[in-house]
Amino acid sequence: MKNLGYTIILILGIVLVLSFGDRDTGEKVNKKASNVVMAYYVPEKDYQPEKLPLHQLTHIIFSFTNVIDGEMKFRHAENREKLRKLVVQREKYPELKVMIACGGWGADGFSDMAHTQDNREKFVQSVLEFNREYQLDGIDIDWEYPGIPAANTKARPEDKENFTLLMKELREGLNTLDRKQILTFASAGWKRYYNNVEIKEVMKHVDYMNVMTYDQIGASTPYTGHHTALGLIDFEDIKDTPAAKYVEQRRSEMRKRGFTYEPRSVERIVEFCIENGVATEQIVIGAAFYGRAWKGVPPNNNGLYQPNKGSHIGWSAYHQIRKEFESNKNYKRFWDPIAKAPYLYSAKDSIFISYDDSVSVRLKTAYATKKKLAGIMFWQLGNDTKDKNSLLKAIYDASQKD
């Protein structure tokens, strides 16, 4: 009986340890996500990294550094200390990967940097020194775009091969660091981009390709539509709308240049990438924590695929959409079952808003799981609401292991 008593006490002790051993962070202990949940993050005005919902992420990508004088550097010196404060949070969340992004929309310098071996070596060395100094877990290359002079950035035909060489040499350099390094790049959500990238070769050297499946139509597009749709939209789905005339015109123009033009979406570009040899476990799809709005939109079809009179707001953070538009009785939420995407429309104000909400990001996450993709990323964390039922919470819940 005495031995039995000791056994009972021992079992009770083990139960207590298992029950309370992880309760030292102040955060609810959550199950680990089965997918990648990756946030791009631009430091907010009231920068408090200790208050970020980092327990719901697998990766956070501090944005941005730039190519300056051929090296990776911060354009603004204050970001150095901000990055250090973010890295400190890894003590609380040791499985979190803290990365740095280089580039972004309108960021120049890539084409010249990648053009020669000497230039690439100089850049790679700067990356190694940077990541070693800040004890980072990796880097995301956001070159928008090789071979395409977007936003008046410099581009040349040789970018195609030079991008491959850059990623290869980055991988080789990162492998020399003591801390294991993740290498990713941001890719476009439309097919023309892949004409300028040796995608099979590039994927040999990287962990993930972060597909920017947002901004699929822009502020200057003359018709309304979905800027971050999940579902496969065909021309037949819009043929009886005013958007069809514009799309057919663009298709004709693009055919003359050897390109295709079609409604864009997550499902379309993912299928395209898989068909072109990209492994599913290397694909990370994108969600938008912001929306785009157009004005002067007639009420036909509740504003969808209708002409507009220009951008109402270039972009709106989701926290603004929730506060100012979702709660406004003049705006009604609609769901497009083909695009698998929501939109808001105000007949009173003639304003149409395309965005992601908690329903659509949950569906995107489920799609990534079903297709056995690596996971989901989004631009960007600071745009989310601080409410409990945030977009990130919806993604995290959908990504949980069983």
Burial of residue 192 (number of CB atoms within 10 Å: 0-12, 13-18, 19+): middle
CA dihedral 15→21→26→32, nearest 10 degrees, is -90
Peptide bond into 20 cis (omega under 30): no
Provide Rg for the chain, Cα atoms.
23
Distance between CA atoms of residues 24 and 58, nearest Å: 20
Nearest alpha-carbon partner for 142 in 99, 204, 96: 99
Which residues of 301-374 form beta strands (DSSP E)?
Answer: 311-317, 332-336, 341-346, 351-354
Is there a contact between 205 and 168 (Cβ–Cβ < 8 Å)?
yes
- What are the φ and ψ backbone dihedral angles of 292, each rounded to 5 degrees? -125, 140
Please answer whether residues 164 and 139 qualify as being in contact, where contact means their C-beta atoms are separated by less than 8 angstroms: no
For 178, the 3-state DSSP assignment is coil
Cα gap 1→12, rounded to integer Å: 17
Candidates 71, 144, 169, 267; catalytic one: 144
Q: Rounded to an integer, what distance in angstroms lies between the CA atom of residue 61 and that of residue 208?
A: 13
The yes-or-no answer on residue 144 being catalytic is yes
- Angle between helix 358-370 and 266-275 (nearest 10): 20
* Cβ atoms of residues 208 and 374 within 8 Å: yes
State the DSSP H helix or E strand holding residue 9, giving kind and residue range, or none if neither: helix 2-20
Residues with active-site annotation = 144
